[in-house]
Amino acid sequence: RLRKERELKKVELEKQRQRSTKAAQAKSLLKDGQVMGIHNRSELETKLNAAAKLGRLAVLYFTATWCGPCRVISPVYVSLAEKYPNAVFLKIDIDEARDVASQRNISSVPTFFFIKDGKEIDKVVGADRSSLERMIAQYA
């Protein structure tokens, strides 16, 4: 009986160690307080999976270099990343990462998606600073 209890404790400790290792690996993929550029679908999936493992909100910002409102909201997005370091801030140029833009059916920029635990929970279309900050505060 004692042997079984010891073995169960050993197994449980090993599971805890593996969970903490996976969490550390997920955290190493993310940059707290910074905006990370996404260049393709696999890179996006990697970041979203890491955010989900850590239970963090992921904010996807779809932009384009030729977009005037995007240039206005971009510094605001960077400051929000600094203000909410426990959220994951991702930036996707629709002309560079066309596969990601088409997967999300982006028809206008800027567009912001809010993802929690791998599921889309909200969306903002346009350079609406107050809605953007309100939703980040609400979901983060």
- pLDDT (tens digit per residue) in 48-105: 999 998 899 999 999 999 999 999 999 999 999 999 999 999 999 999 999 999 999 9
Q: How big, in percent rounded to 5, are the helix, strand and coil portions of the chain?
A: 50, 20, 25
Mean pLDDT, residues 126-131:
95
Q: Whole-prediction pTM value?
A: 0.81
- Domain range annotation of the chain: 1-30, 31-139
Helix (H) or strand (E) holding 123: strand 119-125
In the residue annotation, 131 being an active-site residue is answered as no
User: Does the domain formed by 31-139 have CATH 3.40.30.10?
Assistant: yes
- Alpha-carbon distance 19 to 1, whole Å? 27
Catalytic position from the list 70, 88, 101, 115: 70
The active-site residue, picked from 59, 67, 81, 127, is: 67
Q: What is the pLDDT of residue 14?
A: 77
Active site (annotated) includes residue 67: yes
What would you measure as the largest C-alpha separation in the chain, in angstroms?
70
Is pLDDT above 80 for 26? no
